Amino acid sequence: MVSGAESCLFTISDGTREGTMHAWYKPNQDLRKRIIAGWKQFKEDVIQVQGSIALIDNLDVFGGMLTEYIARINKKPETDQDFANLEASIKTLKRAEEELDAAENSALGQAVSIDNMRKTVALYRSMARDNRLLIEKLVKAEKDNRRGEILTSAKLKMFDHTANLNRRLGGNWMPVHQGNFAESIKGLKSIDSMREKIDNALRDAMFEANMIADRIEANGKALTDAQGNNWNFLFHDFGQVCTKPEEDFAALVAMRSGQHRAENEKRQEAERARIRAEEQAKAEREAQAKALAEADRIRAEERAKAQAEQDARDAETARQRLIEQERQAKERAEYAAQIKASAEQKIAEANAHDAMQHGFGPVIEHQEDIAAFIASRDFKTEASKVRAILVEYEKFKAARGMRKAA
């Protein structure tokens, strides 16, 4: 109706070929005629005052049409056309207010039904104004709502796309990508133009996210070198460095792996030095222990040799002492035999003399016991005195025995 085009192509897309759909719209001539007729009727229904005193009073008809027109207004706009219709309604209602004002002013010079007319005009003018203001607020609020919904939808799609990329990467490595959505629709009034700009911004954001994911995936593979060494343990901060350009990331891997190898070699060399030191200390301890053991063995041998020599000397001394003891024993035995023989002779002589003088025959009976006792002891030069004492003792016993017998 506005452009005069015979058809219109509607397109909707999520940024991918598979998610793009088209629909052709062609005008409905019957609906077109009805709309045009309605606008013509609305124009004719505007109050007119003609003649010097005659009043064409069609306010009631106008009021009914205005009420019906307001009721038909779509207060839940979705598309640009819906918003365009609402904005046209605002203009129509504004025009209705202006024409009502004009009709009222024109009729003030008339004398017929002026009060009723003014009251009716005020009623319909208020209705038109109130609904115009309401629709103006509605248009602004609904545009803000649709703008917010479009932005939210784009952010959710970007969030889902990022989540899918993280699942592909096997970890939450993707940076949070809000997209330049709000900036892309700054200053735009049309919902369709907003959607178009948001779709383009979303497509660009997804494309950029895909490139980042590809880079992260390549950098993750770069953690394993051609020799099969995996350097994941050197990249606890992978989430902060995974988005680096591949060449920069490869240089970082080379630097960290080189540092690790150098530190590892340093640790291994220190470990080898420690083992060498321990082995040397062990060898020195073993050599020292061996030297000490050899010294102990030599000292033990020397002590054993000295002890053997001492034992030999002690044995020789003991043998000589035994020989001396045997010699002394032999001499004592010989001396005792001499003493005994002499004592026996003297005792025999004494006993014989005593026996003859005193009748002490029992003394003679103990001569052998006395001689044996003296021989068993080493009285040396005192043997005679001892023998004399023992003889006197035998005499004493014999004399006492005789007294008791008497």
- Tens digit of each residue's pLDDT (9 = 90 or more) over 170-188: 888 888 776 677 777 777 7
Which whole number is the average pLDDT over 80-103? 78
| Residue 303 predicted with pLDDT over 80 | yes
| 377 domain-assigned | yes
Phi, psi for 164 (deg, rounded to 5)? -65, -40
For 26, left (φ over 0), alpha (ψ -120 to 50), or beta? beta
| 386 domain-assigned | yes
- Distance (Å, whole) CA 44 – CA 99: 12
Q: Which two tokens stand for residue 181?
A: 């959505």
Distances (CA, A) of 41 to 27, 35, 84, 288: 22, 10, 21, 127
- Distance (Å, whole) CA 191 – CA 384: 163
**Dihedral angle over CA of 382, 385, 389, 391, nearest 10:** 110
pLDDT at residue number 343:
63
Residue pair 374/340 in contact (Cβ under 8 Å)? The answer is yes
pLDDT at residue number 199:
83
The structural domain count of the chain equals 2
**Buried/exposed 59-68: b ≥16 CB within 10 Å, e otherwise:** beebbebbee
Which whole number is the average pLDDT over 264-272? 91
- Distance (Å, whole) CA 358 – CA 365: 15
Q: Which two tokens stand for residue 115?
A: 């009060």
Which whole number is the average pLDDT over 223-236? 86
- Of 169, 202, 237, which marks where a domain is finished? 169
- Distance (Å, whole) CA 192 – CA 389: 164
| 194 domain-assigned | no
- Residue 84: give the domain boundaries: 45-169
| 52 domain-assigned | yes
| Residue 262 predicted with pLDDT over 80 | yes
| 5 domain-assigned | no
- Of 138, 169, 200, which marks where a domain is finished? 169
Helix axes 383-405, 367-375, angle to 10 degrees: 150
| 240 domain-assigned | no
Residue pair 120/167 in contact (Cβ under 8 Å)? The answer is no
Which whole number is the average pLDDT over 293-322? 89
Express as a percent the part of the chain with pLDDT over 70: 76
- Distance (Å, whole) CA 401 – CA 356: 18
| Residue 53 predicted with pLDDT over 60 | no
- Distance (Å, whole) CA 84 – CA 90: 10
For 359, left (φ over 0), alpha (ψ -120 to 50), or beta? left
| 301 domain-assigned | no
- Distance (Å, whole) CA 128 – CA 133: 9
| Residue 49 predicted with pLDDT over 60 | no
**What confidence category does residue 164 fall into, taking pLDDT thresholds of 50, 70 and 90?**
very high
- Of 128, 148, 169, which marks where a domain is finished? 169
| 251 domain-assigned | no
